[in-house]
Homo-oligomer: A and B are copies of this chain.
Amino acid sequence: MSKQPEDCAPLARDPLSAAQAGELAALFKALADPVRLRLLSLIASQAGGEVCVCHLTDAFELSGPTISHHLKVLREAGLITGERRGTWVYYRVRAEVLGRLSAVLVPAEVPA
């Protein structure tokens, strides 16, 4: 997991630097898969904020290793965190990161 970028200025305000674009692209790449989006949504929309992996594997017709792979991609991108408690592993979303991405995509305000 790379360090968290600080940029919050919307895409539409100023042209992105190459470094900013690289960091953002890594985050969007993690989101660029239907399974990962559904995983993220399942975790984010859960009351209590966390979900056991066993609940996630049940929600897809995919092998365990494939789910594990997608969770790793989300984790290494910094979008989620995982914690082992006893036998099970629980994941939760990093709301700050999600919020930063949302802010970056806000379109330019149209001047009246």
Contact = CB atoms under 8 A, between A and B. Distances in A.
Interface of A: 11-16, 18, 21-22, 24-25, 28-29, 31-38, 40-42, 44-45, 49, 93, 95-96, 98-99, 101-108, 110
A44 B11 contact: yes
A15 B60 CA distance: 13
A16 B28 contact: no
B108 A45 contact: yes
Contact of A37 (B28, B49, B98, B99): B28
A95 B105 CA distance: 9
A39 to B, nearest CB: 9
A51 to B, nearest CB: 10
A12 B41 contact: yes
A25 B28 CA distance: 9
Contacts of A29: 32-33
